[in-house]
Structure 1
Amino acid sequence: MAQLSSFSVPDFHLPFGNSKHPDAARANAEATSWVLQHELVTAAAEQFSGIGVGHLAGRVSGDVAYERVLLLAEWMAWSFVLDDQHDHLIRTGEVAAWRPVTDAITGYLRTGRIEGAAAGRNPLVTGFVDLCDRILAGMSEGTAARYRAHVPLMLDSLDQEASNRAATRGPGVQEYVLMRRHSSQILPMMDMVEAGLGIDLPQNVHDLPEFQALVASVLDVISWGNDVFSLPKEHACGDTNNLVSLISFWEGCSLPDAVQAVEGRIQERIEQYLTEEERLIQAVIALPGTEPSLVDAVTRCVRSYEDWMIGADLWQRYECTRYSDERFAAGLESAYTRPDLVSAA
């Protein structure tokens, strides 16, 4: 394994402005209270609060009511617990215990019911049900359908991550890039933000190749940047689900050189995004019967994606202690992780 002798996160030069909801700190405190109330976290609440989910939600939600920011912050809090508990099962070799939880979640998305008494009492499942009901209540039919599709893809990607860590070597770079778009867990959050902003694009816009290319660029910029921020932890614990580590392995270069390579890829992706933005607007204008209101909605959606890219970067640099925490950098589990959570009834 390549060595990480020195490390600093480069400036990714994201050419976008950003503002934060004035009640982001309040949302962070209340989202932390929510995970405690649902017993997703029972210790080290201060460390969990340091993740700063409310600050991230406040940076990407746009100009919406506080309740929308809080709901997103609570979903983000749940997502971080989900990710960390899955990591715990990988470390302890208990990934098989994950299936009843994910089956309960995906089953609820399909039917609105929880099947299996034990899974139905698990805090990850009860927390999901609480959030899911409130999330879907504020969504249009089309946005709700995309949210229902994105959550299972997110869960499947965690299974892919577990398989990658059990393999003798990591996945290919392009295979990883495709998986990472879902393991970032961003797509369901984007659905929530669009619903909060009242953006309801028709499916034929979502199906445009130009729209799909734009979304892929956004996900890549955010995910690859996060891989740089999280490199010390993932390198320390031997997790190859990281673009920097994979480039280092497959291209035979040092980790600092691989960081530079990822920085270059991010800059290229930003340039592609700016080009794709123009192409998308032209493609929408060319659709039969396009009204000015649709072009305006697409433009607002594009602005929201820019908030995501710059907001995630600013949050990681200035408002989130997760990536600078000594335990995290050493590759250890978070202090708030519950070893018994998946089996809890």
Structure 2
Amino acid sequence: MAQLHSFAVPDFHLPFGNSKHPQAARANTEATSWVLHHELVTHAAEEFSGIGCGHLAGRVSGDVPYDRILLLAEWMAWSFVLDDQHDHLIRTGQVAAWRPVIGAITEYLETGKAGDASARQNPLVAGFMDLCDRILAGMSQGTAARYRTHVPLMLGSLDQEAGNRRAAERPALQDYILMRRHSSQILPMMDMVEAGLGIDLPQHIHDLPEFRAVVDSALDVISWGNDVFSLPKEYSCGDNNNLVSLVATWEGRSLPDAVQAVEVRIQARIEEYLKSERRLLRLLEARPDTDPSVRTAVTRCVRSYQDWIIGADLWQRYECTRYSDERFAAGLESAYTRPDLISVA
């Protein structure tokens, strides 16, 4: 395996502007309080706050009311705990304990019920129930349907990650790229942002290959960039769910060379994103049956994806301590991880 002797995150030259909601810091504080209230985190609250969920929410939400910023920050906080607790179960060989918790979450999403009382008492389940009710209450029928589709895909991708870490062979690059679009956990958050912005595109627009190309390229740019930021941690703990590590393996590169290769991929994917944007907008302009309000909504949606691309990068570089924390870089578990969290169920 290639060695990680030195490491610096390159500048990905993202051609977008970004502004942050003026109350992002407040949202970060309140999202941390929400996590503590639900006992998802019971210690090391300062370290958890350093993730900066409110700052990320404030960078990707555009001009929405504060309550939408806070709700997104709380969902992001829940998602980080979910990811870290899943990592804990993989490390300790207890992935089977995941099933009742995820089963209860999925059942609640589908039916509004969450299994037996013990499952509902788990902080991950109780936190999801609180968030899900408020999220769906602010969504149109179409956006809610997409959210209900994206959450199970996100949860399933975590199972895929666990399988990859147990497998004798590393996943193929394209298989990983497809999985990463869901394990990034971004799609449900994009649904939330679109609802907050009042964007309600009909499903046939979302189903257009040209629209899917925009979404997929945006997800790839964000996810691949995150893999570069998180490389020290994932390399140190032997987690093969990282594009840089996989490029190093499958292309026979050193890790520094693989970082450069992924940087080149990201720059090429940004160009593809921009071309996909133009192709989509030209398509809608050329179709006389497209309602002008739909074209306006698509333009706003595309602008939101740009906010995601640049906002996630700026957050990771300047407002999130997660990727610079010594424990994280050493491949250790997060200081706030609760070893007993899943066993509560």
Short-chain TM bin: over 0.9
Distance 1:239 1:141, change over 3 A: same
Is 2:327 the partner of 1:327? yes
Contact conserved, 1:20 with 1:55, CA < 8 A, in 2?
yes
Is 2:293 the partner of 1:293? yes
TM-superposed deviation, 1:283:
2.0
Partner amino acid, structure 1, of 2:239: D
Is 2:281 the partner of 1:278? no
TM-superposed deviation, 1:291:
1.8
**Whole-Å separation in 2 of the counterparts to 1:229 and 1:344:** 32
**Whole-Å separation in 1 of the counterparts to 2:207 and 2:2:** 41
Which 4+ runs in 1 deviate beyond 4 A? none
TM-superposed deviation, 1:287:
4.0
Identify the residue that residue 220 of structure 1 maps to in structure 2.
Answer: 220
**Whole-Å separation in 1 of the counterparts to 2:157 and 2:19:** 31
Partner amino acid, structure 1, of 2:87: D
**Whole-Å separation in 1 of the counterparts to 2:133 and 2:94:** 29
**Whole-Å separation in 1 of the counterparts to 2:22 and 2:139:** 24
Identify the residue that residue 153 of structure 1 maps to in structure 2.
Answer: 153
Is 2:9 the partner of 1:9? yes
Identify the residue that residue 19 of structure 2 maps to in structure 1.
Answer: 19
Please provide the CA RMSD for this pair: 0.7
TM-score by length of 1: 0.99
**Whole-Å separation in 2 of the counterparts to 1:286 and 1:92:** 56
TM-superposed deviation, 1:294:
1.1
Partner amino acid, structure 2, of 1:275: K
Identify the residue that residue 133 of structure 2 maps to in structure 1.
Answer: 133
TM-superposed deviation, 1:119:
1.1
Deviates more, 1:292-301 or 1:32-41: 292-301
Contact conserved, 1:233 with 1:330, CA < 8 A, in 2?
yes
Q: Which runs of 5+ in 2 are unaligned?
A: none
Is 2:53 the partner of 1:53? yes
Partner amino acid, structure 2, of 1:277: E
Identify the residue that residue 41 of structure 2 maps to in structure 1.
Answer: 41
Is 2:167 the partner of 1:191? no
**Whole-Å separation in 2 of the counterparts to 1:36 and 1:29:** 11
TM-superposed deviation, 1:344:
1.1
The 5-angstrom pairing of residues 257-272 of structure 1 reads 257-272=257-272
**Whole-Å separation in 2 of the counterparts to 1:282 and 1:344:** 53
The 5-angstrom pairing of residues 304-323 of structure 1 reads 304-323=304-323
**Whole-Å separation in 2 of the counterparts to 1:130 and 1:244:** 36
TM-superposed deviation, 1:117:
2.0
The C-alpha deviation readout for 1:257-283, integer Å capped at 9, x for no partner, is 000010000000000011100111122
Contact conserved, 1:205 with 1:284, CA < 8 A, in 2?
no
Number of equivalent positions: 345
Three-state SS of the structure 2 residue aligned to 1:115 is coil
Partner amino acid, structure 2, of 1:221: V
The C-alpha deviation readout for 1:90-146, integer Å capped at 9, x for no partner, is 000000000001111111111111112211110000000000000000000000000
Identify the residue that residue 116 of structure 1 maps to in structure 2.
Answer: 116
Partner amino acid, structure 2, of 1:250: W
Contact conserved, 1:243 with 1:262, CA < 8 A, in 2?
yes
TM-score by length of 2: 0.99
The C-alpha deviation readout for 1:231-275, integer Å capped at 9, x for no partner, is 000000000000000000011110000000100000000000111
TM-superposed deviation, 1:288:
5.4
Three-state SS of the structure 2 residue aligned to 1:343 is helix
**Whole-Å separation in 1 of the counterparts to 2:288 and 2:147:** 27
Partner amino acid, structure 1, of 2:205: V
**Whole-Å separation in 1 of the counterparts to 2:279 and 2:156:** 31
